[in-house]
Chain A
Amino acid sequence: MLNTLVRYFNLIVITLFILLLISFSLAYFFPGDPYTNLTGKMLLADTDGPLAAAFREGNVLQQFWYYVQNLTMGNWGHSFSSALPLYDQIFQTLPATLELTFYASTLSLVIGIPCGMLAGFLHHKKTDYTFMSMSMVMVSFPVFWLALLLILIFSLQLNLLPMSGRLSLLYDIPETSGFVLIDIINSSHPDRDAALYDAIQHLILPTIAVSFITTAVFLRTTRRAIVDVMATEYIKTAQTRGLPFYVIFSRHVLRNAMLSILPLLAIQISTLVTNVMIVETVFSWPGVGHWLIQAIYERDYPAIRIGMLLVSSIVVFFAMSLECISRLIDPSRDNKKYA
Chain B
Amino acid sequence: MILLDIKNLTLEIESNGVLVKALDKASLILEEGEIRALVGESGSGKSLIVKAISGALPPQWIVTADRMTWRGQNLLTMTRAERRKIMRRDIAVVFQDPVAALDPSATLQEQLTESIPEEFVAGTWFWQKRRSRLDIAHSLLHKVGIKDTEYCMAHYAHELPVDICQKFMIAMALVSQPTVLIADDPTRGMETNTKRQILSLFKNLNKTRDLSILFVSHDLVAISSMADTMTVLYCGQTVEDGPFQSVRKKPFHPYTKALMDSAPSFSPDLQPKSALIALGGTIPTLQHLPIGCRLGPRCPRAQKKCVETPVSRKINQHTYRCHFPMHLDDKGIL
Residues of chain B in range 94-110 having any CB-CB distance to chain A below 8 Å: 95, 97, 100-106, 110
Q: Which one of B19-27, B83-91, B211-219, B315-323 contacts A?
A: B83-91
Cβ B158 vs Cβ A332 within 8 A: yes
Q: Mark A196-233, 1 if CB is under 8 A from B, else 0.
A: 00000000000000000000000000000000000111
Cβ B58 vs Cβ A255 within 8 A: no
Cβ B105 vs Cβ A243 within 8 A: no
Cβ A241 vs Cβ B172 within 8 A: yes
Would you give the shortest CB distance from A163 to chain B, in whole angstroms? 47
Cβ B105 vs Cβ A233 within 8 A: no
Would you give the shortest CB distance from A168 to chain B, in whole angstroms? 49
By secondary structure, the A interface counts as helix
A141 interface residue, CB < 8 Å from B?
no
Would you give the shortest CB distance from B89 to chain A, in whole angstroms? 7
A334 to B110, CA, bound (A): 19
Nearest B residue to A233 via CB reads: B100
B106: chain A residues at CB < 8 Å are: 251-252, 255
Cβ B158 vs Cβ A233 within 8 A: no
Q: Which of B58, B87, B110 contacts A240 (CB 8 A)?
A: B87
A331 to B154, CA, bound (A): 12
Nearest A residue to B93 via CB reads: A240
A290 to B176, CA, bound (A): 63
B54 interface residue, CB < 8 Å from A?
yes
Q: Which of A234, A238, A243, A331 contacts B100 (CB 8 A)?
A: A234
A237 interface residue, CB < 8 Å from B?
yes
A157 interface residue, CB < 8 Å from B?
no
Cβ B104 vs Cβ A239 within 8 A: no
Cβ A332 vs Cβ B87 within 8 A: no
B85: chain A residues at CB < 8 Å are: 242
A236 interface residue, CB < 8 Å from B?
yes
Would you give the shortest CB distance from A318 to chain B, in whole angstroms? 24
Would you give the shortest CB distance from A334 to chain B, in whole angstroms? 8
Cβ A239 vs Cβ B158 within 8 A: no
Q: Which of A237, A239, A259, A335 contacts B105 (CB 8 A)?
A: A259
Q: Which of B88, B100, B114, B159 contacts A232 (CB 8 A)?
A: B100
Would you give the shortest CB distance from B28 to chain A, in whole angstroms? 17
Cβ A237 vs Cβ B95 within 8 A: yes
Cβ B56 vs Cβ A236 within 8 A: yes
Would you give the shortest CB distance from A1 to chain B, in whole angstroms? 14
Cβ A252 vs Cβ B103 within 8 A: yes
A234 to B99, CA, bound (A): 9
Cβ A256 vs Cβ B115 within 8 A: no
Would you give the shortest CB distance from B88 to chain A, in whole angstroms? 3
A243 to B110, CA, bound (A): 13
A330 interface residue, CB < 8 Å from B?
yes
Q: Which of A240, A255, A259 contacts B54 (CB 8 A)?
A: A240
A256 to B85, CA, bound (A): 25
A121 to B289, CA, bound (A): 36
Residues of chain B in range 37-92 having any CB-CB distance to chain A below 8 Å: 54-56, 58, 84-89, 92
Cβ B84 vs Cβ A234 within 8 A: no
Q: Which of B58, B104, B176 contacts A332 (CB 8 A)?
A: B104
A234 to B111, CA, bound (A): 11
A247 interface residue, CB < 8 Å from B?
yes
A240 to B92, CA, bound (A): 8
A288 to B176, CA, bound (A): 60
Cβ B114 vs Cβ A256 within 8 A: no
B255: chain A residues at CB < 8 Å are: none
A239 to B51, CA, bound (A): 11
Cβ A251 vs Cβ B84 within 8 A: no
B110: chain A residues at CB < 8 Å are: 251
A31: chain B residues at CB < 8 Å are: none
B92: chain A residues at CB < 8 Å are: 241
Cβ A239 vs Cβ B58 within 8 A: no
A32: chain B residues at CB < 8 Å are: none
Cβ B100 vs Cβ A244 within 8 A: no
B156 interface residue, CB < 8 Å from A?
yes
Q: Which of B56, B103, B156 contacts A239 (CB 8 A)?
A: B56
Q: Which of A236, A242, A251, A256 contacts B88 (CB 8 A)?
A: A242
A233 to B84, CA, bound (A): 17
Cβ A234 vs Cβ B156 within 8 A: no
Cβ A240 vs Cβ B56 within 8 A: yes
A255 to B104, CA, bound (A): 10
A259: chain B residues at CB < 8 Å are: 105
A314 to B114, CA, bound (A): 42
Given A240-B55, A240-B87: A251 and B114 interface contact (C-beta under 8 Å): yes
Cβ A234 vs Cβ B102 within 8 A: yes
Would you give the shortest CB distance from A247 to chain B, in whole angstroms? 6
Given A233-B95, A251-B114: A238 and B103 interface contact (C-beta under 8 Å): yes
Nearest A residue to B107 via CB reads: A331
Nearest A residue to B87 via CB reads: A242
A238 to B92, CA, bound (A): 11
A81 to B104, CA, bound (A): 57
A244 to B80, CA, bound (A): 10
A233 to B94, CA, bound (A): 12
Q: Which of B54, B86, B87, B101 contacts A234 (CB 8 A)?
A: B101
Would you give the shortest CB distance from A46 to chain B, in whole angstroms? 65
Q: Which residues of A contact B (CB under 8 A)?
A: 231-234, 236-244, 247, 251-252, 255-256, 259, 330-332, 334-335
Extra A-B contacts (18), CB below 8 Å, given A242-B87, A251-B103: A231-B58, A234-B100, A234-B101, A234-B104, A237-B101, A239-B56, A240-B55, A240-B93, A241-B87, A241-B88, A241-B92, A241-B115, A242-B85, A242-B88, A243-B114, A247-B114, A332-B156, A335-B159
Some 30 contacts from A to B, beta carbons below 8 A apart, are: A233-B97, A233-B101, A236-B101, A237-B56, A237-B101, A237-B102, A239-B55, A240-B56, A240-B95, A241-B92, A241-B93, A241-B115, A241-B172, A241-B176, A242-B87, A242-B89, A242-B176, A243-B114, A244-B84, A247-B114, A251-B103, A251-B106, A251-B110, A252-B105, A252-B106, A256-B104, A256-B105, A332-B156, A332-B158, A335-B158
Q: Which residues of B contact A (CB under 8 A)?
A: 54-56, 58, 84-89, 92-93, 95, 97, 100-106, 110, 114-115, 156, 158-159, 172, 176
3 tightest A-B CB contacts, nearest first: A242-B88, A242-B87, A233-B100
